[in-house]
Amino acid sequence: MGERMERSAFENGVVYINGQELGNIAEIEWQKHPKFDGVFVKVLFSGKNSDEKMNAMLVKIEPNRELGDHVHHGQAELHEVAYGEGDALVNGKSVKYKPGVVSWVPADIPHSIKAGDTGVLLLAKFMPPL
């Protein structure tokens, strides 16, 4: 997990729910993705914090690694790319991921992300929560 990946607007950010501070993002631990090597998640808040409306997490994909093809049954997902570049495949269509890209993945749609040489850091939001 290169230091360059850590340098984003989220590095020293704070999570708020309904105006109440939940915590500093830097203090939340990265967790290894259970299925994909070189992929890490940092859960910013869960469904419990949002009346089961959504959850949000940072997803870090190391350089030249892949968040392989998968589906979230019953949950739509919104990606906001914060750092790096890569290629996403959403329902068979290619999407170039780079800072500033926002990508909506409807529920039950297969998708994957392959990071380029710099890796990818994105904010992923799930509705309803995972």
At 62-101, the pLDDT tens digits run 999 999 999 999 999 999 999 999 999 999 999 999 999 9
At 5-35, the pLDDT tens digits run 445 677 778 999 989 999 999 999 999 999 9
Q: Count of domains in the chain?
A: 1
pLDDT of residue 3: 44
Pairing label, strands 111-127, 39-45: unpaired
pTM (two decimals) = 0.90
Quote the CA–CA distance of 6 and 26 in Å, as a whole number. Answer: 10
Q: Tokens 């959403």 map to which residue?
A: 90
User: Is the N-terminal amide bond of 128 cis, ω within 30° of 0?
Assistant: yes
pLDDT level of residue 1 (50, 70, 90 thresholds): very low
CATH number assigned to the domain comprising residue 59: 2.60.120.10
- What residue numbers bound the domain in which 57 lies? 3-127
More confident site: 52 or 1: 52
Asked if 60 and 1 touch (Cβ cutoff 8 Å), the reply is: yes
Alpha-carbon distance values, 14 to 6, 17, 67, 95 (Å): 15, 10, 26, 29
Main-chain dihedrals φ then ψ at residue 12, nearest 5 degrees: -115, 25
